[in-house]
Structure 1
Amino acid sequence: MKFECFYYPTLNEHDEIIKCNEDLKEFNFGDKVPTKTLYYNYGENFAIYQNSEFFIVEDGILTKTIPSSELKFPLHIVFGKGTQLKIFSPKDLSSIRLLLNGEFEKEKELGQLFCLSFMLNRLIKNTQYEIMSDLTNSSRDYNYINEEIDLRTQKLIDELKVVERKFYNLTIEHPNLKDSYLNYMNFSNKEDMLELSINKYFKEGTNEYKHYILTKSVWKSKPIYPKFKLDNLINSYNYRD
């Protein structure tokens, strides 16, 4: 089973942030599901409403489907592409399809931009290292090496500029958003960005899953904590308007 609420952010050709679940694996009952990433926090216990069915997640595990008559209230419910609501009674269920926005939408938007900034920075650095490793063994023409780095990272840098401008503008428009984002995400002192990555839920064989496996051993000895990285991003603002 594939669920729209488990997604990752990406930048489309119009420089818009969209939610995508392409190449994410399907889940069966008994599987652990991505209840928390850098851009959403559904909690460990909630119901997914999809295709007129209620799928129950308990302690982070997809356990079963149940009819609406067996739901217990108050209920945390997730539907569509991550819309979150807290429902207090059965009569509220009939109106959820009419809602376009749920709770914590701005916090999720900030988290998506934070995640994309981190991912793009890593991709740029990895690309630079790969080119330098490949070409310095065969060429001592450093101008050529620099030109190759510029050529292969330019699109990523352009995307990073878009993302960080959006991040900057969002925090200017909402001065308290960082604090409300951190309250919503409720990061523990032991959570690091690798374990919060959606990459481990990609299908095996995809570049994202391979990247997760390759970096797992390195990051275990040198974890990267979200609060620290978020402060670095806010204090740098490389690409302001």
Structure 2
Amino acid sequence: MNNPGGSVNSNGKIAVVTGASSGIGAAAARALARDGFTVVLGARRIDRIEALADEIGGRAMYLDVTDAASVDRFTATLDEVHVLVNNAGGAKGLAPVSEANLEDWRWMWETNVVGTLRVTKALLPKLEASGDGLIITITSTAALEVYDGGAGYTSAKHAQGVLHRTLRLELIGKPIRLTEICPGMVETEFSLVRFDGDADRADAVYEGLQPMVADDIAELISFTASRPSHVNLDQIVVRPRDQATSRRNIKTG
């Protein structure tokens, strides 16, 4: 674990980012550090987050959100937390329900839903104790829509969204804000994971259109974290111009 080097413009607040080794998580860590937060990065690829922590003056620690013991070790090291970015998640495959791979479904539910629950539950007391806590959960437009071959991922993202939205009701009156960010197509390692490392298949997803990039979502995270404590951005839905819904973009017509 790295020791925080601190930010030149430190605001004295601690932000935790899960799934911080690449993509939206890494971009969010950089954006929050730029804004003066000391960022605690959690991910399984420890070499990546240690390098990023050195770059931004943050802290890195191994975190597997599907492992209760790992979550316990990670959260036990934190004395205070002001912002939690639930970013860890992912998809596997595009099999129809009739051909569903149950292990892929279990992984998606464990990572997106139960993993978010584990980390959020563990850090809720510290977020409340901060006097101005913020939980940002990165779901997806798949939390709002369904598409052919996506039942495993869309069902997990729907459940993750419901978890977050229910918590918004349960925490009313407490000093914790909750924002759900629902991105459409973002070109990261997402499709590479979904297709088990098949780079050609992953690249084909974005051919012929201009997707968003991780920094686009990181800017929304930064904007959300900079709102005054009485302002709660409940839900942000964001897609690239070339995508209208999960099933309709400029390629599909």
TM-score when normalising by structure 1: 0.32
More helix by share: 1
Larger Rg: 1
